[in-house]
Amino acid sequence: MKKAVMIITIIMVTTSFVSCRRQQGFGAGADIFERMANTTYEVKLLFPGMDPQPDRDMVVQAINDKLTEMGYPGLTIRLDSMDWASWSGRSTAIILSGGDYDLAYAPDWAPFYNDALMGGAWLPWESYIIPEYAEWIEPWREYLYVWGANHRQKHIYRVPTIKEYATYPLEVRWNKNVTDRLGITEAMRAVTSVYDLEPFLELYKNEYENRGMAVIAVDSGDLINYFALGAPGIFQPVYTADTDSYVNAAFSPWFDEYVNLLRDWYAKGYIPDYQQLELLDDLILKFGTESFLVYFNRGKPGGEAELNQVAMQQYGFEWGVTVLTPPYIDLNALLAVSWGLNSRSRNPEAAAFVYQLLSTSKELTNLINFGIEGVHYNLDDNGVAIRVEPSRYFSNLLWMLGNRFLCHRLPGEPENLSELYMDFNNRAIRFPNFGFPYPGDDAWDGVNVDMFWGTAAALNTQYQRSIMIGNISDAEIADIRLKLTQSNFQGIDEVMNREYRTWQADR
């Protein structure tokens, strides 16, 4: 397997200041490596995931020992995690209140994202990127804007490594225990669209008709990306590749198709109408491991093997995966694995430095993801990491922190995984609007932007759940469109397209 090799040429890092509630940046004096060699600071990471692992402290100590070995004896880390349900409910308050952390996982789809940005929770990454690591940072970072908030300010919420920028907008994850029992496992691997799932959903429903459980768990955001790739939200302006222009999502052609599909599934009993159940975890805990057949999400090479490292232990079933779309370069996908640098961090320079070490060092990457070799996993003759059971450490951070070009391979992953990733990224489709920034404040003269975004947010709160489960009525759809019209979505679309054409002409 092709190994990623990093050659670090030490150069001087100039003093840099960034304004985000207060000015901060690299300290003056010696270069960053020399300063960090003489810095004492504990970097605290906050993220969602499984409950604390029994050997977490042992692994953290091993990471800190490695940092000392690398020449940074005063730098240490602390890993703080919450289960997903707690994360969803508590993360907003923790982040906005400036909790005791330096780096927080901050996916763009999370409800707190724009709120936390507007509240000044994040520092921009630009001034903290080590020039020696610049080649490891994917080339699209300058395009990462946040829609709907603080439009003038550009942020990087993740410092990715190598070229992990492409994604499959939609994959089907299916319950392999169920499909094995029904004898449809291989047939599921041949699925090419969401519509091909219909006979399997009917088969599942007939087999489990008395269970009273969910047949399908829908991740609305990713189905949106299936019908309108790159859509930032269901009531916002969305780029439409067919017309090379922007139109409000609720008035776009894919909206009716999307709504009709989910209505059809809901009428046939495929979608759960459980108003309090937002997560697949909740469905499984309440109704058991056979309470669903398929679940939609994003995908990438090696995804099935990665999922199954924890699925049997955590859920009691294995996943199967079928990819329904070619790879795309999509800004939402980039931001979906983002980390925020806390604006209240007592040493943001050290936090950013340690984050980049965790992302670019093979030893640190494998420690934080797999634990200690010989204790928590062993490498077989092919370089595959085999977990030692019963497992006492598996951080489930592969997709949040790990660079798969540096990580050990998992059981089931092909030997040429790095080459597959390279090919995956090279084949990825990039839309003409990729990199188009949200228009600055001056572009919106005469347009009541606040009224529009307030209306869009209120509609999202009121209707997104009913759209997602497919029980929205025609009258409710008419109400959505009326309120968007009253909030002047036409003016928003007009500005978007005018600025987009100007941006195209200047390129």
- Residue 436 located in a structural domain: no
User: 9 in a domain, yes or no?
Assistant: no
Dihedral pair phi/psi, residue 246, rounded to 5°: -105, 140
Whether 260 is covered by a domain: the verdict is yes
CA distances for 405 relative to 67, 411, 423, angstroms: 21, 16, 13
The distance in angstroms from the start CA to the end CA of the chain is 38
Contact 432, 504 (CB under 8 A): yes
- Whether 499 is covered by a domain: the verdict is yes
Based on the fold, state whether residues 343 and 278 are members of the same structural domain. no
Cα separation, 160 vs 6, whole angstroms? 14
Domain check: are 309 and 338 in the same one? no
Residue 212 Rama label (left phi>0; alpha psi -120 to 50; beta) = left
Residue 59 and residue 128 share a domain = yes
Q: What stretch of H or E contains 457?
A: helix 449-469
Last residue of a domain, one of 425, 452, 467: 425
Compute the distance between CA of residue 317 and CA of residue 208 in angstroms, rounded to an integer: 17
97: number of Cβ within 10 Å:
11
Nearest to 342 by CA among 96, 102, 99, 41: 102
Boundary-marking domain end, from 329, 357, 386: 329
Q: Are residues 383 and 325 in the same domain?
A: no
Strands 75-82 and 237-240: unpaired
Do 320 and 338 fall into the same domain?
A: no
Supply the pTM of this predicted model: 0.77
Does 149 lie in the same domain as 34? yes
Sequence-distant (6+) residues with CB within 8 A of 97 are: none
Cα–Cα separations (whole angstroms), residue 298 to 137, 222, 266, 324: 21, 7, 22, 10
User: 7 lies in a domain?
Assistant: no
Q: Give the model's pLDDT for residue 114.
A: 59
For 245, the 3-state DSSP assignment is strand
Q: Which two tokens stand for residue 224?
A: 């949106």
Choose one of 275, 295, 329: the last residue of a domain.
Answer: 329
User: Are 93 and 53 within one domain?
Assistant: yes
DSSP E strand stretches across 18-143 = 18-20, 22-24, 41-48, 75-82, 103-105, 122-123
CATH number at residue 109: 3.40.190.10
Question: What range defines the domain where residue 79 resides?
Answer: 18-162+333-410+417-425
| Claim to verify: residue 58 and residue 116 sit in the same structural domain | yes
Cβ neighbour number for residue 255 with a 10 Å cutoff: 24
Same domain, 276 and 232: yes
Structural domains of the chain, count: 3
Written as one letter, the residue type at 332 is N
Tokens found for residue 203: 């088969």
Nearest to 437 by CA among 145, 118, 141, 117: 145
Cα separation, 507 vs 488, in Å, equals: 29
Instruction: Determine contact, residues 26/18, Cβ cutoff 8 Å.
Output: no
Clarify whether residues 240 and 344 are in a common domain: no
Half-sphere exposure of residue 69: CA atoms within 13 angstroms, side-chain side: 9
**Which residue, among 52, 54, 115, has the nearest Cα to 79 in the 3D structure?**
52
Q: Are residues 158 and 178 in the same domain?
A: no
435 in a domain, yes or no? no
Q: 155 near 146, Cβ under 8 Å? A: yes
HEC states along 335-403?
Answer: HCCCEEEECCCCCHHHHHHHHHHHHHCHHHHHHHHHCCECCCEEECCCCEEEECCCCCCCCCCCCCCCC
In a domain, 8, yes or no: no
| pLDDT tens track, the chain, 507 positions | 333 332 222 222 222 222 232 234 555 567 899 999 999 999 999 988 766 789 999 999 999 999 999 999 999 999 998 877 677 677 777 877 777 899 988 765 444 555 666 677 888 777 787 877 766 665 555 555 554 444 444 554 455 544 556 777 788 999 999 999 999 999 999 999 888 999 999 999 888 875 555 567 666 666 666 665 555 568 888 888 788 999 998 998 788 888 998 899 888 888 876 554 566 777 787 788 888 899 888 787 778 888 888 788 778 899 999 988 888 876 666 666 678 888 889 999 999 999 889 888 889 999 999 999 999 999 999 989 999 988 899 887 877 876 777 889 888 888 888 888 888 878 888 788 877 877 878 899 989 999 998 999 899 889 988 888 888 999 999 999 999 999 999 999 999 999 999 999 987
pLDDT value at residue 186: 96
Whether 491 and 396 map to the same domain: the answer is no
pLDDT of residue 151: 43
Specify if 381 maps to a domain: yes
